[in-house]
Amino acid sequence: MTVERDDEKLARFQKALQQMIDRVRQDRYVLAVVLDGSLSEVTIWRRHTINVWIIEADGVTRRLRSDGNDERIFRILVEDGINFHAEVIPRSRFKLMVEGSTRTAFSCNFFAERKVVYSNDPSIESWFKQANTVAIKVQERELLAFSTWTIHALHHARKRLEIKKDLELAGQELLSAAHSLAFAEIIRNGKVWEDDVIYRAMELDPELFQVVYLDVLAGRKKKQVLLTAMARIDQYLDDHYKAHLKPLLALLKKANRVMPLSEISDHFAYSQVYPWHIEAACEWLERKGRLQKFSAPFKLTKRSLKEVEEPAYFLES
């Protein structure tokens, strides 16, 4: 079997992309195509498919039964034997993405180059340039998202180890936390990285990832190895929490009052910072003595006459 060279594979993928563009160019309801992830000899070895966004006119979305009720529409296309994974996005929703108003906003901009490869709508190209500028500005929000993921995974790793005494599942949770840390390190570095994130993170902080990733991955699921990894992740969070949890801390500081978890969650809605991760971060901060925990009344329905209690948090100025 002949092994295809990277330059040959790159040429084949570029040809397929151009064929797809030429085809959709004839459809007046397709306004633009965005390539998600670059095509180059450096990145082509990772590719088996081409990822694109297809921006369509408003009001023409074709839904299939397999789409269910999901707002996002995905299609698999093919050109010259190469599959395309396409997200079909109405023009109005793309504008919201630019403004950071949906969960699909440009949150992965640190991990994939994106490029408009076809457009017949000048506004879309203008919005796209604006979106790439905004993506760098939301670095703090991205750090918050991955840091809360890390805290959530660390919490579950502790439960697996201390309560269930399950070293294997605790190790899996720690590997999940390590991958979240890797993403945080890339974002801290502030540059787009399209290759495997964990390897780049190991270059940025080899000591950290030796303890929290390589030692755990090596299969030595001894309790002490896991406890050491947990302690190191906790230390990392201690060292960086002011920067990595800055949007959360800033919100609580500005409020200067006891703030219910539901209100905090609403503030971060549509930003990939999920309520259960915010909860984990607030609980971690409370255990560290950096927040005070209270409870606040909460109505389960619009018509509820009785109230239940939800967690609420206070940050002293």
pLDDT tens, position by position, 118-175:
999 999 988 887 776 655 557 888 899 999 999 999 999 999 999 999 999 999 999 9
Task: Sketch the domain layout of the chain as residue ranges.
Answer: 6-137, 139-314
Q: Any idea which residue has 């500028």 for tokens?
A: 133
Q: The sheet that has 308-314: what strands, in order across it?
A: 259-260, 308-314, 292-298
How far is residue 260 from each of residues 14, 31, 74, 131, 295, measured CA to CA in Å? 51, 43, 36, 32, 7
pTM, 2 dp? 0.79
Q: The sheet that has 114-119: what strands, in order across it?
A: 73-79, 82-90, 49-56, 30-36, 114-119
Q: Any idea which residue has 């403004």 for tokens?
A: 99
Q: Residues 248-258: pLDDT tens digits?
A: 999 999 999 99
Any idea which fold 6-137 has? Beta Polymerase; domain 2 (3.30.460)
Residue 9 has pLDDT above 90, yes or no: yes
Q: Residues 76-119: pLDDT tens digits?
A: 999 999 999 999 999 999 888 777 644 444 544 677 788 899 99
> Architecture of 139-314 per CATH?
Up-down Bundle (1.20)
Q: Residues 189-219: pLDDT tens digits?
A: 887 787 789 999 999 999 999 999 999 998 7
Report the mean per-residue pLDDT for the chain. Answer: 90
